[in-house]
Amino acid sequence: MNLSRAFLLFAAIGVAFPQLLPADPIESQTTVIPKGSIIAGKTLFVEKGCYQCHAAGEISLPQSTLTETLIIELGSNRHVEWTRDDFAKAIMNANHTVSPDYEKAMMILGDHFKAVNSPMPTFNDILTVSDLIHLTTFLDDLFD
């Protein structure tokens, strides 16, 4: 059988019986970010100052030094369905997931610009991929 006939046969099988074709490994996974170290993630959460604006469930963290802050509870029901991928997206593109509580507070204060723009700093140049893996593992563990 020549190559073009083999391709046509493979394509026909794929159309008639798609379950016989191998699944795309990326699409078949529910989470792409691999699991890292919870302890390293908690350490990064403190070192990078995340605790200043975010509480993490029952986890003991240093007290925030900011006086006027809206603490966003990461161990709340709002984040219970999040995967490590969801946490990674929120960390790397904070404006993608601006907290509804923050938006509401800024609208009440009359600051419409801040209502749709997260106050969270960009971490794209600060975190390594390894850091992101550990940090998202720590956050994901809040719900286990």
pLDDT of residue 53: 80
Question: For residue range 110-138, what is the model confidence (pLDDT) as tens digits?
Answer: 776 666 777 788 888 889 999 999 999 99
Q: Domain for residue 71, yes or no? A: yes
Per the CB < 8 A criterion, the answer to whether 54 and 74 are in contact is yes
The boundaries of the domain holding residue 55 are 38-141
Q: Domain for residue 135, yes or no? A: yes
Our count of domains for the chain comes to 1
**Single pTM value for the model:** 0.67
Q: Domain for residue 17, yes or no? A: no
Q: Domain for residue 128, yes or no? A: yes
pLDDT of residue 54: 82
Distance CA 55, CA 69 (A): 11
Q: Domain for residue 28, yes or no? A: no
pLDDT of residue 128: 93
Distance CA 49, CA 64 (A): 9
pLDDT of residue 107: 74
Distance CA 1, CA 9 (A): 10
Q: Domain for residue 81, yes or no? A: yes
Choose among 25, 32, 28: nearest CA to 136. 32
pLDDT under 50: residue ranges of the chain? 1-3, 6-10, 12, 14-17, 19-22, 24-26, 28
pLDDT of residue 75: 63
